[in-house]
A and B are shown apart, each in its own frame.
Chain A
Amino acid sequence: MNQAASVLRIGRHAVIIAIGILMLYPVLWLLSSSFKPNTLIFSDTSLWPKEVTLSNYITGWKGLQGISFARFFANSAQISILSVLGNVITCSLAAYAFARLEFRFKKVWFSLMLVTIMLPYHVTLVPQYILYNKFEWINTYLPLIVPKWLAHDSFFILLMVQFIRGLPKELDESAVIDGCSQSQIYFRIIGPLLVPALITTAIFTFIWSWDDFFSQMIYLNKVQLFTVQLGIRSLFDPSGESNWGALLAMSVLSLLPIMTIFLSFQKYFLDGIATTGLK
């Protein structure tokens, strides 16, 4: 009886580990292939390279048309960091108003905010493009950053509204009695307590902006403005003439910032996902 139970437990562990390896396999293959000489990438299928080289990283880093990947990384970083700041600041302002303040038409605005979460991006895509084109914002980072400073990702507003609703209301009430204004309550009381939700928002925003290939492709078409995603896509030639070694090496580097952030904040991150689902 006991033995059967432990066999079952070991079996379950084996399955879970096997699935885990399967899950990581493509990522490990990418990592290992990026260190293989070009001639061996597809003939040597083992994860442990027979011959290790850094040449893929060196040729890949040279980038496109004389512009190195250092530039693409700097560009992506600039966009992502400014997006994070915008989202964290403006979404938390809106969330505070929805969660704690009373004002006319609050219900209407709140429902509209909820509806925008479900709205597909494509419905506003064409007019937004036309608008940015009129402003002469094409081939600048403004179309990628300005929406974040206008709390356009309502999803994060909702996340923070839910979080603030979980904070005891007595805190603000006593602050009001002590003569605090609303902005003081936001900065001194809600702000510090909101940090876990702010971190979740920051990580999500960073990763989404870093990976957001579609908007980058639409709004940026000068090589010196390219982001990491656009750089990799341009190294990649669908007809099959790509320098695979260089391409895979740069792909590894493109995933590094995301992995680093995820591994350093994974608790916030995974719990953040869990709570958005449960509310």
Chain B
Amino acid sequence: MASARRPSLWRQDRTAYLFLLPWLLGFFCLTLGPMVYSFYLSLTKFNLLNSPRWLGLQNYVQIFTDDASFLQSLKITFQYVLLSVPLRLIFALLVAMALNKGIRALGIYRTVYYIPSLLGGSVAIAIVWKKIFDGDGLFNHFLATFGIEGPAWIANPLYVLYTIVTLSVWQFGSAMVIFLAGLKQIPADLYEASEVDGAGKVRQFFRITLPLLSPVLFFNLVMSIINSFQVFTPGYVIGDGRGGPIDSTLFYTLYLYLKGFSFFDMGYASALAWIMLAIIGAFTALVFVTSKYWVFYGDGKEERG
């Protein structure tokens, strides 16, 4: 062991790999292995009891040509993502800007606005939501005081998705906290200088705030898209757990869950999962590719990675 004092490359490697061992085990056993197996399963019919039967591309063909539920779940999920992501981020940004103007007791507001994001993922809040937007729920009582007769928001397939969207928009707090931290990094003298030049508030927003905030916006956008595609609990609890009424809460993840864990069609569920990965990947890639036109990294101080 003459090399003890001057660690050889091998020794250095060994130490590092020991630190990395749990993650490596997890990566191979819980990520890479399952991914390979999942892809194989997506080409088979498998119900957990009998061994997988090879189908080739048949699952995929069926999904794309002969599966109305797939199209419906895709439609519901797209509607949800395209509505909730922009609304949540716009709210988050507006409130963050309002809070950033040297308001006293900022800490309290920040806490209060964050609480919905903290609790919103739980079964408890989904149940509260269902009760508030029920036909005879709190929201319609509130509308009734203005003489408006509200519909049965939850039981009506036309509206139930919007109540789930409001639940997600209500949770704008976590994005807001990130925006707030970003706003704090914008030097105040930039605004002062532009005021001297006679720039108005709107111009300041588009010329200073938005460009300097764009890396943060980028981060929030990517995370929001990825998370929104995977939403499960609110739809499951607010709907009836099977996608009703009339498939209006059949989120993609719910459809995948039903195929895999109610009908035990593990091959089909795996194929659905791969299509989901492709869709999320495409959206994320789109944001990444367009980001070079709208994300502005200042003077290169912020190194990536």
Contacts and interface: CB of A to CB of B under 8 A. Distances in A.
Interface in B165-221: 170, 173-174, 177-178, 180-182, 185, 215-216, 219-220
B interface secondary structure, majority:
helix
Contacts of B273: 120, 122-123, 125-126
B148 interface: no
A236 B240 CA distance: 11
A216 to B, nearest CB: 10
Contacts of A157: 23
Contact of B127 (A27, A211, A251): A251
A5 B25 CA distance: 61
Interface in A162-191: 181-183, 186
Interface in A92-140: 93-94, 96-98, 101-104, 106, 109, 112-114, 116, 118-131, 133
Interface stretch (A9-17, A49-57, A62-70): A9-17
B132 A29 contact: yes
A218 B119 contact: no
A116 B31 contact: yes
B160 interface: no
B219 to A, nearest CB: 5
Contacts of A244: 131
A131 B276 contact: no
A71 interface: no
B: interface residue count bin: 35 or more
A20 B109 contact: yes
Interface in A27-81: 27, 29-30, 42, 45
B115 A94 contact: no
Contact of B115 (A24, A90, A120): A24
Interface stretch (B56-64, B82-90, B95-103): B95-103
Interface in B62-121: 95, 98-99, 101, 103, 109-116, 118-119, 121
B13 A270 contact: no
A127 B22 contact: no
Interface string B8-35: 0100110111011111111101110111
A11 to B, nearest CB: 11
A251 B241 CA distance: 19
A60 to B, nearest CB: 12
A211 B171 CA distance: 15
Contacts of A201: none
Nearest to B173: A23
Interface of A: 12-13, 15-16, 19-20, 23-24, 26-27, 29-30, 42, 45, 90-91, 93-94, 96-98, 101-104, 106, 109, 112-114, 116, 118-131, 133, 147, 149-152, 154, 157, 181-183, 186, 207, 211, 213-214, 218, 229, 232-233, 236, 238-239, 244, 247-248, 250-252, 254-255, 258-259, 262-263, 266, 270-271, 273-279
Given A20-B109, A279-B219, 5 more contacts: A122-B253, A151-B26, A233-B237, A273-B174, A278-B185
